């Protein structure tokens, strides 16, 4: 398919701030423009162009995944032990000289922000956990496929950056005018800039593409499990309560990619012969 042009990185955003019900020293700023957007992962469909044009089937998995901390490494180590050859196409390529799979066989050391960091090893220019399209067990992340097979939430087995993308959480301690220190969590879109200096040069990126803003549910609903992991359940339920209260009220600053996706859907609808929308079940949000 011919990809739609991505929207500008700079546009108005609507925010909601609230205090975590479980911690009165935790303030959360939620980007409603992003959370109310209809972005969805389009990996494995013609809509996904891949961040490297020569590897569209690799999606955003061409660089491997940097691990954030010891908990991230432990989660991945546990998940790798759960993988089978039916889940993981490149399992044999991850074995060492003794035929064993260990940390050094699926991780490599690289530089991140000027410091040494571990990331998942790359094999043939993509993450070693990425199943290619010809794999009978299914294309895509072997860890994700294993989680679905076992009935697990994918975020419980995948590296942090993989399951969070394209949601971005930042946390900083701030001092209120009364001198009290509180933790401020910002939840927003992980756009091209989130990738660092090279983000602008990605050949394509989904968060700003109307082709990826076609989800049946808004991000805050579709990514419930991930948002609970990022915020804690009490804070997520408060976010949910606030968003339920405003249902039926138009958002002031809608994500322009969602707006454009809706416009394109309506244009396709208008080009259909009479009643064809009913036959095809076309839904225009």
pLDDT tens per residue across span 197-256: 899 999 999 999 999 999 999 999 999 999 999 999 999 999 999 999 999 899 999 999
Q: Let me know whether 169 and 266 are in one domain.
A: yes
pLDDT higher than 60, residue 82: yes
Q: Is residue 266 part of a domain?
A: yes
Q: Find out whether 94 and 101 touch, Cβ atoms under 8 Å.
A: yes
Domain count, the chain: 2
Q: Is residue 280 part of a domain?
A: no
pLDDT higher than 50, residue 282: no
Q: What is the pTM of this model?
A: 0.90
Q: Is residue 283 part of a domain?
A: no
C-alpha to C-alpha distance for 120 and 72, rounded to whole angstroms: 12
Domain end point (choices 110, 133, 161): 161
Domain end point (choices 119, 142, 161): 161
Pull the structure tokens for residue 59: 């999606």
Q: Let me know whether 214 and 191 are in one domain.
A: yes
Tell me how long the chain is: 285
Q: Let me know whether 171 and 38 are in one domain.
A: yes
Domain end point (choices 161, 194, 229): 161
pLDDT value, residue 275 = 53
Q: Let me know whether 46 and 66 are in one domain.
A: no
Alpha carbon distances (Å) from 38 to 94, 176, 222, 262, 280: 37, 35, 9, 10, 20
Q: Let me know whether 178 and 258 are in one domain.
A: yes
Q: Let me know whether 107 and 156 are in one domain.
A: yes
Q: Let me know whether 118 and 189 are in one domain.
A: no
Q: Is residue 276 part of a domain?
A: no
Q: Let me know whether 116 and 95 are in one domain.
A: yes
Burial (Cβ within 10 Å: 0-12, 13-18, ≥19) of residue 134: exposed
Model confidence over 121-163: pLDDT tens digits?
999 999 999 999 999 999 999 999 999 999 999 999 999 999 9
Among 41, 35, 38, which residue's Cα sits nearest to residue 60?
41
Residue that the structure tokens 């990331």 belong to: 119
Q: Let me know whether 131 and 208 are in one domain.
A: no
Work out the average pLDDT over 55-75: 96
Sign of dihedral through CA atoms 152, 157, 158, 161?
positive
Q: Let me know whether 33 and 120 are in one domain.
A: no
Q: Let me know whether 213 and 266 are in one domain.
A: yes
Q: Let me know whether 41 and 170 are in one domain.
A: yes
The domain containing residue 124 runs over which residues? Answer: 61-161
* Degrees, nearest 5: CA angle 138-195-189: 85
Sign of dihedral through CA atoms 187, 74, 118, 60?
negative
pLDDT value, residue 284 = 44
Alpha helices, DSSP H, located in 120-255? 142-150, 160-164, 219-222, 224-231, 233-245
Model confidence over 30-59: pLDDT tens digits?
999 999 999 999 999 999 999 999 999 999
Q: Is residue 277 part of a domain?
A: no
């Amino acid at each position: 398919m011919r990809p739609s042009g991505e929207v500008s990185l700079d546009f108005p955003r609507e925010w909601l701030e609230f205090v975590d019900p479980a911690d009165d020293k935790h303030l959360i700023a939620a980007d409603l423009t992003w959370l109310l957007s209809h972005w969805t992962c389009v990996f494995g469909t013609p809509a996904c162009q891949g961040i490297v044009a020569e590897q569209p089937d690799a999606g955003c998995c061409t660089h491997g995944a940097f691990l954030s901390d010891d908990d991230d490494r432990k989660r991945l180590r546990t998940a790798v032990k759960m993988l089978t050859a039916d889940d993981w196409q490149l399992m044999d390529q991850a074995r060492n000289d003794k035929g064993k799979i260990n940390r050094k066989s699926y991780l490599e050391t690289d530089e991140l922000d000027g410091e040494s960091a571990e990331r998942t090893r790359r094999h043939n220019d993509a993450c070693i956990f990425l199943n290619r399209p010809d794999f009978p067990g299914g294309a895509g992340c072997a860890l994700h496929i294993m989680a679905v097979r076992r009935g697990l939430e994918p975020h419980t087995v995948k590296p942090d950056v993989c399951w969070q993308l394209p949601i971005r959480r930042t946390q900083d301690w701030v001092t209120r005018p009364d001198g009290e220190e509180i933790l401020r969590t910002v939840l927003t879109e992980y756009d091209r800039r989130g990738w660092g200096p090279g983000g602008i040069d990605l050949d394509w990126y989904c968060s700003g593409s109307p082709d990826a803003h076609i989800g049946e549910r808004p991000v805050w609903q579709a990514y419930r499990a991930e948002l609970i992991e990022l915020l804690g359940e009490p804070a997520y339920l408060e976010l949910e309560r606030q968003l339920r209260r405003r249902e039926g009220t138009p958002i002031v600053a809608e994500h322009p990619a969602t707006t454009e996706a809706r416009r394109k859907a309506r244009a396709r609808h208008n080009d259909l012969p009479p009643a064809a929308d009913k036959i095809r079940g076309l839904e225009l949000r």
